[in-house]
Structure 1
């Protein structure tokens, strides 16, 4: 093809047809420019196609992480809702002297209070994409901002969970130091909500018979102002935790819907 155009140029020059040569030269330049533009367009189309694939893969991975978050938040909601119920029960017996709880029931309801939840956020896909620099190629900027805010807000829930853990360690456990654990049995941990298998632990404790015959008056602990202060403080923190969990669940549902409806 190049030889063909070269022969035409040479023939026009040898025949001194400068005007035709000029018109031909302009036409050749236009053809070259058109070829370059077509090549650039094809390259641009390929780059956009690749970016679309990267974006689709990113949101697919993030959606999987968000659904893991969804399951985790359901666990947290159950954990703290039950905690609130146990605290409510203890406060009800504490404030009603005529109601007798019994040592076994008391042991069952205080045991779950030793446990707290560890906050976990499944943000690996988002953080990996952020570190790799692909956010610049993603067109859904508003959705990226919402995801970024969602993962940043995790600290609010994590801080609340941590405050409950500190409160248990600093307030609840000292109250219970003087309470003998001789009444722990296979049923003690029935109300405990925990991801790990705690039943083996309670079975082991129950298998070791307590021969000390230590008198246990649980009401001395239950009906003291110190215990009441603790229960109310824990109820407030637990209520706060439930509120943050529900708020995060609402934001999560919106994000999942938007990602699923993208296409």
Structure 2
């Protein structure tokens, strides 16, 4: 084919047929341009196909990460709800006459108020960060998905900051007050015995006193009750953030999972 066009061009030049040669030259340029455009189109089609395949893989990775984040979300909500409920229960019990039937409730509440979970801290590198670092964020064609990932990252960072505040309050204020007045090793052992699903290991330990503590002095301590009220305030700042994170996860799932 190339040889035919070369011979045709040579003959037109030899016969001095300039007008036809000009038409031929234009036609040859047009053919070359069409060939280039077709090659570009094929290349674009192939690249789009590769990008779509990569996007499917990214959707799968994001869905798996959301499954993990959903587990963390549920665990964190449960833990911090137990913290709030435990603190509120002890504040209520402080207004009631103390008797043996309340002892187990107080001990469980004393165990609950020191619970914690670090979802924000454990996700300091989010899915969004991983996509940015790999240069693959632009492969996600859904603007809603990119926005949802951005919002999830922002809420995880906010959660990490409030986790620090809550944990520092427990470590620096609540725990010292408890350690001065409560045999916390016994409290932990009792909580482990009462809950087979608890992931906390008990201690091989004999109580310091043979007399059971009725905790009446503790629940009449105004400083301790004020600390419980502050604990509720600190912990309640975490729960709305967890709620928003749950909404982020649900929104991301609704976009990535229908693709499978």
For normalisation by structure 2, the TM-score amounts to 0.85
For residues 11-90 of structure 1, what are the structure 2 equivalents within 5 Å?
11-90=11-90
Contact conserved, 2:86 with 2:108, CA < 8 A, in 1? no
CA positional deviation for 1:225: 0.5
**CA offsets per residue over residues 125-159 of structure 1, 9 Å max, x none?**
43222112222344323421221121122122122
Contact conserved, 2:110 with 2:187, CA < 8 A, in 1? no
For normalisation by structure 1, the TM-score amounts to 0.84
Q: Equivalent residue of 2:97, what SS?
A: coil
Q: Equivalent residue of 1:69, what SS?
A: helix
Contact conserved, 1:112 with 1:189, CA < 8 A, in 2? no
Hey, what does 1:187 align to over in structure 2?
A: 190
Q: Structure 2 stretches of 5 or more lacking a match?
A: none
Q: Equivalent residue of 2:181, what SS?
A: coil
Greater Cα shift, 90-99 or 32-41 = 90-99
Distance in 2 between residues matched to 1:247 and 1:233, nearest whole Å: 23
Q: Equivalent residue of 1:177, what SS?
A: helix
**CA offsets per residue over residues 14-65 of structure 1, 9 Å max, x none?**
2332222222222112111111111111112122222222222222211211
Q: Equivalent residue of 1:178, what SS?
A: helix
Alpha-carbon RMSD across the aligned residues, in angstroms, is 2.8
CA positional deviation for 1:71: 1.2
State the number of aligned residues. 257
Contact conserved, 1:175 with 1:221, CA < 8 A, in 2? no
Greater Cα shift, 124-133 or 69-78 = 124-133
Q: Structure 1 stretches of 5 or more lacking a match?
A: none
2:230 corresponds to 1:233: yes
